[in-house]
């Protein structure tokens, strides 16, 4: 009789295996999901990129090639 009970539990486990795997995968995905919020490093890189763009624009506008001379006027 002990073997019969063991077989019943094994068959139930085999039937529910895929359902339990799907539930655990869903729970794992929910637990690992994070909201995508900017962190400190994102703000630093954004400000550094803006500063480099401004620096490049300022250097280009002060270049001898972009300044108007008397020849261009």
Count of domains in the chain?
1
Cβ proximity of 58 and 66 under 8 Å: no
Q: What is the pLDDT of residue 43?
A: 93
Rounded CA gap, 13 and 5, in Å?
A: 12
Q: What is the pTM of this model?
A: 0.41
- Residue 72 inside a domain? The answer is no
Tell me the per-residue pLDDT of 4-62, one tens digit each, with 9 for 90 and over.
677 778 888 888 888 888 999 998 888 887 767 788 999 999 999 999 988 888 887 77
Q: Which domain holds residue 10?
A: 2-61
- Residue 53 inside a domain? The answer is yes
**3-class DSSP assignment, residue 44:** helix
- Residue 38 inside a domain? The answer is yes
């Amino acid at each position: 009789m002990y073997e019969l009970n063991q077989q019943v539990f094994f068959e139930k486990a085999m039937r529910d295996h895929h359902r339990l795997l799907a539930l655990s995968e869903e729970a794992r995905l929910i637990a690992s999901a994070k909201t995508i919020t900017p962190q400190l490093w994102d703000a630093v890189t954004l400000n550094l990129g803006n500063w480099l763009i401004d620096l490049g624009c300022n250097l280009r506008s002060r270049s001898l090639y972009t300044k108007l001379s008397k020849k261009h006027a």
